[in-house]
């Protein structure tokens, strides 16, 4: 399954119909082409009663290709940083708690980009990658263009205790270590994709 957070809905691309979870706010569609996928998506994405849209095809890669054809695809990388106190590193940007991440530069390795972005956005050093986490996908509008962002995530560790410095030019107003066993303030004001990363990184 590939899960894509698209505005107020979750789009699930599945290659087994058994992955569909029927509910009053979910719908399952079988699509065979990019045009068919686009037509169905555009008809359903603004329906207020729907929360989950499942697209099915036995070829998951083809299904993803058909879906992503609607968008300009951007790749980013970031991290769920932990310390020896059992805390996670969070940023506050655009009125919500988030995890540090950013666009991968041309010719840059994914892991290198992830570490660079965390360092730049948080003013932290001594980072090491401890585990690769599942990527997340979300869509948004930028200059009237539909964007699909794939973010590669890594669990990281740092024992840097120097003061954290938010990258204010990127709209970050706060950087904070928060106990991973007490994240209610984050869950109350964050994105579904961030919740997914936290769950993957704290299982």
CB-based contacts of 80: which residues, under 8 Å, 6+ apart? 88, 89, 99, 133, 153, 154, 155, 156, 197, 198, 201
Number of separate domains in the chain? 2
CA 149 to chain CA centroid, nearest Å: 8
- What would the pLDDT profile of 128-175 be if each residue is shown by its tens digit? 999 999 999 999 998 888 999 999 999 999 999 999 999 999 999 999
In contact, 57 and 15? CB cutoff 8 Å: yes
Q: What residues make up the domain containing 81?
A: 76-202
Residue 136's pLDDT is 97
What whole-number distance in Å separates Cα of residue 29 and Cα of residue 103? 32
197 and 118 within one domain: yes
Residue 12's pLDDT is 97
Residues of the chain with pLDDT under 50: none
CATH number at residue 102: 3.90.79.10
Residue 143's pLDDT is 82
Domain final residue, candidates 68, 85, 103: 68
Question: 174, 157, 132: which is closest to 82 by C-alpha?
Answer: 157
Question: How much is the mean pLDDT over the chain?
Answer: 95
The pair of structure tokens assigned to 159 is 């024992």
Residue 182's pLDDT is 94
Percentage of the chain surpassing pLDDT 90? 93
**Dihedral, 11, 13, 19, 22 alpha carbons, nearest 10:** 30
148 and 80 within one domain: yes
In contact, 54 and 102? CB cutoff 8 Å: no
CB-based contacts of 147: which residues, under 8 Å, 6+ apart? 71, 72, 73, 74, 139, 140, 141
């Amino acid at each position: 399954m590939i899960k894509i957070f698209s505005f107020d809905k979750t789009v699930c691309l599945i290659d087994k119909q058994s992955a569909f979870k029927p509910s009053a706010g979910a719908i399952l569609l079988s699509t065979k082409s990019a045009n068919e996928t686009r037509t169905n998506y555009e008809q359903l994405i603004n329906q207020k009663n729907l929360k989950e849209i499942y697209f099915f095809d036995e070829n998951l890669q083809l299904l993803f290709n058909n879906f992503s054809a609607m968008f300009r695809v951007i790749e980013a990388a970031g991290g769920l940083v932990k310390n020896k106190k059992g805390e996670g590193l969070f940023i506050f940007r655009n009125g919500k708690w988030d995890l540090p991440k950013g666009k991968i530069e041309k010719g840059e390795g994914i892991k290198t980009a992830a570490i660079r972005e965390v360092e730049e956005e948080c003013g932290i050093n001594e980072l090491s990658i401890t585990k690769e986490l599942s990527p997340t996908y979300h869509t948004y509008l930028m200059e009237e263009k539909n964007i699909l962002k794939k973010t590669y995530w890594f669990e990281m560790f740092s024992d840097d205790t120097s003061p954290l410095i938010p990258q204010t030019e990127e709209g970050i107003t706060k950087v904070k270590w928060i106990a991973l066993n007490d994240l209610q303030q984050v869950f109350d004001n964050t994105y579904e994709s961030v919740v997914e990363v936290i769950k993957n990184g704290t299982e």
